[in-house]
Structure 1
Amino acid sequence: MCPGSVPPPGPESPAALGDPVAPVVPAVPGSPVVLEGSAVLESSAVLDSSERPPFLRRRPVHLFPGQGDFSVSTLVASARTTPGLRKAAREVFEQVDTVTAERGLPRLGPWLLGPEPPSGRALASASTGTSQLALFGASMAVHRALSEAYGVPSAAVGVSFGELAALTAAGVFTVADGARAAHDLALALTFCPGALTALACPERSARELLEEAGVAGTGTGAADVVVAVVNDERSVVVSGPVAALALVEKAAADRRVGAVRLRLPFSSHHPALGHAAREFATAVRAYPRSAARFPVHSAVAG
């Protein structure tokens, strides 16, 4: 298990992450839809099913993103113009800030929702765990606002770090304990130096690039670069040391393969993270857990 994967709620829960599930494919006609953006938050009440547009006549699925997908500016702009999201953000960050206080981190509610909100760079340069708690709180705020406007989702999908918010949204963890788990994960990741690079190519081509760059290995050592995530048949993420990733990116440029370094200072989803993953799992298991109110699917574990 990688540090981004969360232990399942338990066999009594309908949302146990080890359960076999059918893949959830958002935004496919006739299927549940992942709602994103501020436009869907304008209503303060759940619409009658007869008044909903066709794509909302089935309960939606909420997607909780991983760390590379967090935009502070989008949250701040939406909270300023959307009363439902602003109210949800204030409520969520009141609970999150009980955890920032106990763990010596800056209060996020007044900072994010105040007149001079931080940039993503400012959050990243703050105390360890600050950016992770900001993402966790933002995800929970959007979920709460969407649920208020359109009803509780039929299911949730967590992408890596987003699994924590997805489980919290389903009621497995309280908001405070979900925030504590997010900070625990941030601390675990400090022992995983390195970085991640997204490659616009199939998995096989990515492995060929690693060989060409001379950095491919068995994946058991921290010095190896590995294919860490397969998003789809045209997109993968590789993980490893910064210097080695630079060689991969050069090889990709020579082949005219798109390569983007993610703004994350650690080698998430790397096989060498086994010890950190076990420590994180031990920390998370200490928090009380309840049966989930709706199914939670993991993009990592199913």
Structure 2
Amino acid sequence: MTADTKATGAPAARAPRPVALLLPGQGSQYRRMAAGLYAAEPVFAEAVDEVLGAMGAEGARMHADWLAERPELPVDHVLRAQPLLFAVDYALGRLVTSWGIRPVALLGHSIGEMAAATLAGVFTVRDAARVVLDRVTRLTAAPPGGMLAVAESAASLEPFLGDGVVVGAVNAPRQTVLGGPEDALRAVGETLRARGITAQRVPALSPFHSPAIAPHARGAEAVLATVERRPPRTVVHSCYTAAPLTAQQVADPAYWAAHPVDQVRFWPALDGLLAPGGLVVVEAGPGRTLSSLALRHPSVRRGDCMVVPLSPKRADGPEDDRVALGEAVDALRGEGYRIP
């Protein structure tokens, strides 16, 4: 009898693969994202309330706009997209852990890294909420701009850069996001499309991950210096360095303050997470942008890793959120997790 056989002679049940969480950022937001879970999932609702409650009066306005059919500010506005993404990402991460699943690693995209760090215990919820609110309040003064998703490699786009337009994110080998001021970004988009290159605007009203936003991010470092940061209890893969966070980075206010400006290196970070194989990657956030990227990775294509999104690509109503979550629970149960 082999070591992996029970006394009955039946094969022993395979242990479920460990879970890693992907937490999306700017561009994944949409109106009433995950709102269908607010009345249905108490853990999720409590976590959202904790985050937005820590943001005081502005958090109350965010909460009202999140659930409203006709919000005061659109969800793509910097005062809505970033804080609400942080709140929903964090709340979905809390929901996963409430099922008894303990993620072995976390990888966030842009503002998703703040949610990852909070779930890992680097920041308290109250401190993280303060940092996020301070960040977005500063960025309201940034010039109009945005981001452009281009179906080309970053290297091939070098000739089109300039006038403040830069590579803001490397999401996949042929999925690059450019960021910059509005007029210059629009001109680049027109040039690319005229050459037959697919280029689509990312939902954003600010030039994230470009130098245009740098002057308006100044001052955040001083706020971060007053906030306690602890070593992560769970490995956090940085989307900026494409490696696990180090103690030096966690302790450095400048590292966190630079997030809205610095380039996102999501694909190299994802490769570092997935290349060893043997993971279930759960996208704990709205939409399926990071899931679609992870599905392209060799370790997923050959079956070593599995991708499970918690949300629909878009929700037409509350039931869509609940159906998508139910499908995710079924997938995790099929993997061997005993979810109540």
After superposition, the Cα gap between the structure-2 partners of 1:184 and 1:288, relative to the gap in structure 1 and judged at 3 Å, is same
Query: Could you say what secondary structure the match of 2:169 adopts?
Result: strand
Q: Give the match for residue 62 of structure 1.
A: 21
Q: Give the match for residue 17 of structure 1.
A: none
Matched, 1:76 2:26: no
Matched, 1:207 2:179: no
Q: Give the match for residue 269 of structure 1.
A: 209
Matched, 1:228 2:187: no
Q: Give the match for residue 52 of structure 2.
A: 97
Q: Give the match for residue 251 of structure 1.
A: 191
TM-score (norm 1): 0.67
In 2, Cα distance between equivalents of 1:197 and 1:112: 25
In 2, Cα distance between equivalents of 1:291 and 1:249: 42
In 1, Cα distance between equivalents of 2:212 and 2:42: 42
Query: Shift of the alpha carbon at 1:65?
Result: 0.9
Q: How many residues align?
A: 230
TM-score (norm 2): 0.60
Cα RMSD (Å): 2.7
Query: Could you say what secondary structure the match of 2:179 adopts?
Result: strand
Contact 1:249–1:259 (Cα < 8 Å) also in 2: yes
After superposition, the Cα gap between the structure-2 partners of 1:118 and 1:144, relative to the gap in structure 1 and judged at 3 Å, is farther
Query: Shift of the alpha carbon at 1:240?
Result: 1.4
Q: Give the match for residue 155 of structure 1.
A: 105
Instruction: Give the unaligned 5+ runs of structure 2.
Output: 1-11, 243-340
In 1, Cα distance between equivalents of 2:202 and 2:215: 23
What letter corresponds to residue 268 of structure 1 in structure 2? F
Residues 21-78 of structure 1: per-residue CA shift (max 9 Å, x gap): xxxxxxxxxxxxxxxxxxxxxxxxxxxxx87xx6x81221111111111234441234
In 2, Cα distance between equivalents of 1:162 and 1:156: 10
Q: Give the match for residue 60 of structure 2.
A: 106
Q: Give the match for residue 135 of structure 2.
A: 185
Contact 2:151–2:197 (Cα < 8 Å) also in 1: yes
Query: Shift of the alpha carbon at 1:280?
Result: 2.0
Matched, 1:133 2:83: yes
Matched, 1:242 2:182: yes
Instruction: Give the unaligned 5+ runs of structure 1.
Output: 1-49, 211-215, 218-222
Query: Could you say what secondary structure the match of 2:200 adopts?
Result: strand
After superposition, the Cα gap between the structure-2 partners of 1:293 and 1:276, relative to the gap in structure 1 and judged at 3 Å, is same
1:30-45 aligned at under 5 Å gives the runs none
Contact 1:164–1:181 (Cα < 8 Å) also in 2: no
Contact 2:79–2:140 (Cα < 8 Å) also in 1: no
Query: Could you say what secondary structure the match of 2:103 adopts?
Result: coil
After superposition, the Cα gap between the structure-2 partners of 1:245 and 1:107, relative to the gap in structure 1 and judged at 3 Å, is closer
In 1, Cα distance between equivalents of 2:81 and 2:169: 22
Contact 1:192–1:268 (Cα < 8 Å) also in 2: no
Contact 1:99–1:179 (Cα < 8 Å) also in 2: yes
Query: Shift of the alpha carbon at 1:200?
Result: 0.7
In 1, Cα distance between equivalents of 2:202 and 2:182: 11
Contact 2:76–2:205 (Cα < 8 Å) also in 1: no
After superposition, the Cα gap between the structure-2 partners of 1:72 and 1:255, relative to the gap in structure 1 and judged at 3 Å, is same
Query: Shift of the alpha carbon at 1:137?
Result: 1.0
Contact 1:239–1:268 (Cα < 8 Å) also in 2: yes
Contact 1:197–1:245 (Cα < 8 Å) also in 2: yes
| Higher relative contact order structure (alpha carbons within 8 Å, sequence separation ≥ 6) | 1
Query: Could you say what secondary structure the match of 2:75 adopts?
Result: helix
Residues 185-234 of structure 1: per-residue CA shift (max 9 Å, x gap): 212322432211111111232223x1xxxxx43xxxxx421122222220
Query: Shift of the alpha carbon at 1:153?
Result: 0.5
In 2, Cα distance between equivalents of 1:262 and 1:269: 13
